[in-house]
Amino acid sequence: MPRDILNDTLRTKLQGTNLYVADLIELQLTTTQYLTTAEFDLQFDSATAPDSGNNTYLAQGQFLSYSDIKETSDLRVATVNLEFTAVDLTTVALLMNNDFIDKRVVIYSVVLDADHTWTTNIIPTTNAYMLFDGRISGYGINQTHGGAVIELQAASQFADFEKVKGRRTNSESQQIHFPGDRGFEYAPQVIKDLKWGDM
Q: How far is CA 8 from the centre of its chain?
A: 30
Residue 25: closest CA among 17, 16, 34: 34
pLDDT tops 80 at residue 51: yes
Specify the DSSP element, H or E, that contains 91: helix 89-96
pLDDT of residue 113 exceeding 70: yes
The CA distance from 4 to 13, in Å, is 16
Does the pLDDT of residue 46 top 90, yes or no? no
Does pLDDT of 159 surpass 60? Answer: no
Residue 2 predicted with pLDDT over 50:
no
Q: What is the pLDDT of residue 1?
A: 38
State whether residue 79 is helix, strand or coil.
strand
Q: What is the pLDDT of residue 192?
A: 60
Cα gap 104→154, rounded to integer Å: 8
Helix (H) or strand (E) holding 129: strand 129-144
Percent of the chain with pLDDT over 70: 72
pLDDT at 78 over 80: no
pTM (global) more than 0.75:
no
| pLDDT over 90 at 80, yes or no | no
What is the reported pLDDT for 106?
Answer: 92
Mean pLDDT of all residues in 40-60: 86
Could you give the CA distance from residue 121 to residue 13 in angstroms, rounded to a whole number?
12
Residue 191 has pLDDT above 80, yes or no: no
Tell me the domain boundaries of the chain: 8-160, 165-199
pLDDT higher for 74 or 45?
Answer: 45
CA angle 131, 1, 3 (to 5 degrees): 35
